Amino acid sequence: MLQTLADGLLIGGIYAVIALGLTLIFGVMRVINMAHGEFVMIGMFVSYLLFSKLGVDPFVSILITVPACFVIGFFLYRLFVEKALRASEENTLLLTAGTSIFIANLMALPAFIGPKFLRLSSENLYWANKVWYVGGISLNAAMAAGFLVTGVIIFVLHLLLMKTDTGFAIRASAQDPTAATIMGVNVPFISGITFGLGAAFAGVAGNILSANYPIYAAIGTLFVVKAFVIVVLGGMGSIPGAAVGGLILGVTESFGSAYVPHGTGFRDVFGLVIFLLVLLFRPQGLFGKGH
Amino acid sequence: MTGFLEAQNLTKQFGGVKAVDDVSFSVQKGQIMALIGPNGAGKTTCFNIIAGAFDPTAGKVAFKGQNITGKKPYELNHLGIARTFQIVKPLAKLSVFDNLMVASLAKSKNLKEAQQKAEAIMSLTQLSSLAHTMAGKLPIGNLKRLEVARALATNPELLLMDEPMGGLTPAEVDQAIELIRAIRKMGITIVIIEHIMKAVMAVAEAIVVLQNGKMIASGDPQDVVKNEAVIKAYLGDAYAAHQ
Amino acid sequence: MKAILTTGILAGLLALVVPMFADIHIYAVVTIVLISIMFGQAWNLLGGFTGQISFGHAMFFGLGAYVAMIGAVRGHMDMGLGLLLGGLSAGLYSIPIGALIFRLRGPYFALGSLALAEIMRIVAANWKSITNGGEGMPLSGVNTMFGIPISSKQEYFYMAVVLAALFSLFCSYLMKSKTGYSMIAIRENEESAQAMGIHTPRYKSSALFISAFLTGSAGAFFGYYNKFIDPDMVLSTHISTEMIFVTVIGGIGTIAGPIVGSAILVVLQEYLKGIPTLQTYPSLYLTIYGFLLMMVILYLPGGIVDGFKRLYRWFFAKTRHSGIGKEKTV
């Protein structure tokens, strides 16, 4: 039972960092980034590419994924999303949906991931089948390391938001873009930075996941739905909400698969059911403001 | 004394702020009443409570003797209350005519009847020449008239107007005053929030003054204007001391 | 009257011309176009006219399909009844669904609908006793429509023409009624609509019901036509996004939109599939769709239909060189 909890927390941490990116983007720009899952997929692909061609460990290639996703995210926002936002929220939604489909299917071309799936081959992979034992519980090494990385990221994000000028600008833009502009914040630029950051977080999750999971071009949809469930559960725009929500989702899936009969087939449904319950009983989420 | 529209002890609290604090007033049928006061006095909040946009923290609203507190805007519209918004809310991608069709269909089941009503209202508000223009492309003067037209097309007995003259040129203000008088002749009771005192004095038969959510004066326009508390509210203590 | 005439002529032309040169393959493509028109019009009612963008309409399509297929396989149900029942099930299902997701606004509504559709897909894939799970449900034997046996591709084609025409006409008339005006008002400004006496919750539910009903019927027809359904065919996000593509790229909020969008996109997809050098890129058409959607949203939000309108106006204005004065800009 403790094992199930541990497994749940580990995957929950990864979910949390993906959701963190989404909630950050939402908090500042009120944009639901339908293409968010694709950044996870891009992270997985970068990891695969660097591992298979240059033997770089997936955790090391995070250093490449972060700037790559950041840049793609930044320009995606500035060139496309910003323009759609000026029209309407619905337009932005459709735009990011189109972007999601575009990127996912572009990556499905043989030049990239191709129509099937890729895996990091277990020979030469440090993380292959590696397990750490802590007090009688076995932890998947990559996931555990990923959990630690996630913790570091959340801490760094906290520092960034609270202690740096950029972070201050981000928080100001989130609270009131007009007031922030008057106070000298370049809101469009900051929004781009935030979008890039959100994308980068998703990419990091991709790197971590690539150590264990198969990589296929369409995997993005799975993650964006989970991330959305977490964001709704935790409260739109709430960072602690994303963190806690991620852990809750991870643990629920873990226990659900283990203890509910035929649970494994329904693994992905648990999150969706949580989503429905939140909608019914507390639509603002755990950390969101009440109506 | 039971009026056509009765607000009793209305209070609205947002967190720690009392936007409206124990406000009561009564409007007679066929009357034009003005709700005035400095910015932030709680006038639009009062309107929003009466129009069903939100519920009061305390107090109640009665219309034609019936308690309407907490009813939704569409329910109120069916009972005969229409409102205009301070920041106009036209149906931007529809033509002026279609905007009025939507409003007319509130009371008419029949398309033909609604069309006739829409045309009549356009004529009354001098929007006929713009019938097929997209609402989103109109300048503010026409948008304000469209706002009133849409409210009128729903056959109201009570019309709540929230700063209908904001942003209008002096000539447009005069036209608006004429329109308000014409609406009154149709037998419609009007409650109007307005800052432009010239217009208020030209149309109001009764005035209620709010400041910081509280009612500080009410009654005959001539008396209210000379009321010391009212002068203080608008122009400050120094000016009042001069009088 | 004009709508009936236009639709009648188009449908009539289609029904006459296509059989002159069609083979099984062409009938298949055209029938898919017609099915796309059906679910495009259905989605458009909620998304384009009422302004509620749903990403989960596959749940209605799939529900209609499964109800019809189960009826046909287990009860030898007539297609006429099946289309009705498929639509009705989806419509009734939409009532509790609406109560749930209309609590969400805009983008959250969209993702909520996606989540609900995914739940249905996973349930269908696992509830083997009813749906046969991932193996799908095949339909053998000949179906009847009001007693008339329908078996050849050509016969299904005629059925599809009639259905697509009926759907389009229905939507056209609906949008000119009080219900239609109310739906559009809700899309443009919900608060304003409420102040004008429109009972917005009721109208949103009605729009959803009608949209779901039509989608369910389209799903039922797809099942009969394809003679096979499985969760990935009728309940996946692919179906939901296809509805969005044909409507938005074609022209959201117009009756012509889904028609133009379906024709162009489905034909494009078939064309791409036919090019030998592109065989190794089966998802290329989706890459193009995604890109087109982005471009339409950014530069031509009214879709291809709007593109045609602008071309027409530009051309018309050019030939109207009067030189008397500037064209009235309002």
CATH assignment at residue B40: 3.40.50.300
pLDDT of residue B224: 87
Quick check: B224 and B218 in contact, CB under 8 A? yes
Q: Is residue B147 part of a domain?
A: no
Q: How far apart are CA B89 and CA B147, in angstroms?
A: 7
Instruction: Please name the residue of chain C whose CA is at the shortest distance from the CA of residue A93.
Output: C107
Among A28-37, A99-108, C131-140, the minimum mean pLDDT is found in C131-140
Q: Nearest-CA neighbor of C300 among C308, C43, A81? A: C308
Q: Which band of pLDDT confidence, cut at 50, 70 and 90, is reported for residue C47?
A: very high
Q: Is residue B118 part of a domain?
A: no
pLDDT of residue B243: 53
Give the residue from C174, C194, C196 with the most B CB atoms within 10 Å of its CB, the best one to mutate.
C196
Amino acid letter, residue C165: A
Quick check: C246 and C66 in contact, CB under 8 A? no
Q: Note down the domain range covering C140.
A: 9-274+282-318
Q: Any residues with CB less than 8 A from the CB of B141 and at least 6 apart, and which? A: B167, B168, B169, B172
Dihedral angle at the C-alpha atoms of C109, C113, C115, C117, nearest 10 degrees?
Answer: 180
CB contact under 8 A, A110 and C281: yes
Q: Which band of pLDDT confidence, cut at 50, 70 and 90, is reported for residue B239?
A: low
Q: Is residue B235 part of a domain?
A: yes
Quick check: B100 and B150 in contact, CB under 8 A? yes
| pLDDT at position A177 over 90 | no
Q: How far apart are CA C120 and CA A272, in angstroms?
A: 10
Distance from CA of A103 to the nearest CA of C (A): 7
Instruction: Please name the residue of chain A whose CA is at the shortest distance from the CA of residue C102.
Output: A279
pLDDT tens column, A124-146: 788 777 888 887 788 888 888 99
- Average confidence score pLDDT of chain A: 88
| pLDDT at position A264 over 80 | no
What is the number of structural domains in chain B?
1
Quick check: C290 and A98 in contact, CB under 8 A? yes
CB contact under 8 A, A101 and C248: no
Question: Of C53, C104, C290, which has the smallest distance from its Cβ to A99's Cβ?
Answer: C290
| pLDDT at position B99 over 70 | yes
Q: What is the DSSP letter of B134?
A: B
Instruction: Please name the residue of chain B whose CA is at the shortest distance from the CA of residue C192.
Output: B89
Give the residue from A36, A76, A101, A279 with the most C CB atoms within 10 Å of its CB, the best one to mutate.
A101
Q: Are B and A close enough to touch, i.e. 3+ CB pairs under 8 angstroms?
A: no
Question: Of C178, C185, C195, which has the smallest distance from its Cβ to B77's Cβ?
Answer: C195
pLDDT of residue B227: 85
Question: Of C126, C244, C294, which has the smallest distance from its Cβ to A99's Cβ?
Answer: C294
pLDDT of residue C282: 74
Amino acid letter, residue B121: I
Q: Average pLDDT, stretch A238-255?
A: 91
pLDDT tens column, B153-172: 999 999 999 999 988 999 99
| pLDDT at position C10 over 50 | yes
pLDDT tens column, C154-197: 899 999 999 999 999 999 999 999 999 999 999 999 999 999 99
* Sign of the Cα pseudo-torsion (C287, C291, C292, C294, in order): positive
Tally of residues, chain A: 291
Instruction: List helix spans (H) across C227-278.
Output: 231-234, 237-251, 256-274
CB contact under 8 A, C182 and B105: yes
Q: Any residues with CB less than 8 A from the CB of A263 and at least 6 apart, and which? A: A256, A257
Tell me if chain B has a CB within 8 Å of the CB of C23.
Answer: no
CB contact under 8 A, C110 and A32: yes
Does residue B161 sit in helix, strand or coil? strand
Instruction: Please name the residue of chain B whose CA is at the shortest distance from the CA of residue C49.
Output: B93
Q: Is residue B223 part of a domain?
A: yes
Q: Average pLDDT, stretch A268-291?
A: 79
Q: How far apart are CA A276 and CA A237, in angstroms?
A: 19
Give the residue from C181, C184, C190 with the most B CB atoms within 10 Å of its CB, the best one to mutate.
C181
Dihedral angle at the C-alpha atoms of C174, C177, C181, C186, nearest 10 degrees?
Answer: -60
Q: Is residue C327 part of a domain?
A: no
Q: How far apart are CA C125 and CA C146, in angstroms?
A: 31
Q: Is residue C325 part of a domain?
A: no
Q: Is residue B191 part of a domain?
A: yes
Q: Is residue B30 part of a domain?
A: yes
Q: How far apart are CA A21 and CA A13, in angstroms?
A: 13
What is the number of structural domains in chain C?
1
Q: Which band of pLDDT confidence, cut at 50, 70 and 90, is reported for residue B202?
A: very high
Q: What is the DSSP letter of C177?
A: S
pLDDT of residue C330: 37
More confident residue, A266 or C321: A266
Q: Which band of pLDDT confidence, cut at 50, 70 and 90, is reported for residue B66?
A: very high
Amino acid letter, residue C172: S
Q: Note down the domain range covering B17.
A: 5-89+155-242
Quick check: C297 and C248 in contact, CB under 8 A? yes
Does residue A291 sit in helix, strand or coil? coil
Q: Which helix H or strand E contains C311, and what residues bound it?
A: helix C303-318
Distance from CA of C189 to the nearest CA of A (A): 12
Question: What is the pTM (predicted TM-score) of this model?
Answer: 0.90
| pLDDT at position C322 over 70 | no
With vertex at residue A248, the alpha carbon angle to CA A246 and CA A252, rounded to the nearest 5 degrees, is: 120
Give the residue from B91, B155, B161 with the most C CB atoms within 10 Å of its CB, the best one to mutate.
B91
| pLDDT at position C321 over 60 | no
| pLDDT at position B2 over 80 | no
